Structure 1
Amino acid sequence: MSSKYAGGPTETERCIESLMAVFQRYAGRDGNARSLSKKEFVTFMNTELASFSKNQKDPGVLDRMMKKLDMNCDGQLDFAEFLNLIGGLAEACHEHVLSSPTSGGPKRS
């Protein structure tokens, strides 16, 4: 992705490029570069979101996440389904920051 402006890509464009690169790093290891298999998803979670994965007391949490994210029930996560995960995590982090007493933002319950 390249910006039409001389200054190079914007911060948002760089973020999108980064998300695409991370998805591609894990997708295709099992043969289909357009989606993450369950094995690829688990590898992604254990590598990129290790603090989340390793702190789970429930060993089935990643299986349930994969099932919930897999909107078309094909056993794979395409890029749009992957973005649902990223968006959900970003939203949860944002809400956490807003509810922090030091954030200056409104508290939500």
Structure 2
Amino acid sequence: MESAIKTVVSVYLKSAKGKESLGDKDFQTMVKKQLGNIMTETDSSSAIKEMRKGLDENNDGKVSFQEYMTLIGYLANTLSEEKTAANNAPAS
């Protein structure tokens, strides 16, 4: 678990390129490169832009680390629910 947390932090920091938050282009690049296997529509710039707007709680046009963690939490919860449902599905 420790390595997973370190990875989440390092991906954000690398994507932010030393800045305090992810701008539109940096966020789009990160989503396309890092989340394409677990999210749909990562090839759609407009869908990613809408996602960024939804995460941007303070409406500054950027994604802060805390806003990024909202995305990570949502994705982790969704994956957990999917795996739980798959494990509880009746055998055919």
The interval holding the TM-score normalised by the smaller chain is 0.7 to 0.9
What does residue 16 of structure 1 align with?
5
Structure whose alpha-carbon radius of gyration is higher: 1
Compare the two structures and name the one with the higher helix fraction.
Answer: 2
d(CA) in 2 for partners of 1:36 and 1:75? 9
Unpaired stretches in structure 1, ≥5 consecutive residues:
1-11
User: What's the TM-score, normalizing by structure 2?
Assistant: 0.82
The two structures, once aligned, show a CA RMSD in angstroms of: 2.2
| 1:22 maps to amino acid | V
Q: Which has the higher contact order (CA 8 A, sep 6+)?
A: 2
Residue 56 (str. 1) matches residue 45 (str. 2)? no
Query: Which stretches in structure 2 are left out of the alignment for 5+ residues?
Result: none
Match of 1:37 in 2: 23
Cα drift, residue 52 of structure 1: 4.8
CA 52–93 in structure 1, closer or farther in 2 if over 3 Å, else same: closer
Q: Does 1:89 align with 2:78?
A: no
Sequence identity, in percent?
30
What is the match of residue 5 of structure 1?
none
- State the TM-score, normalizing by the size of structure 1: 0.71
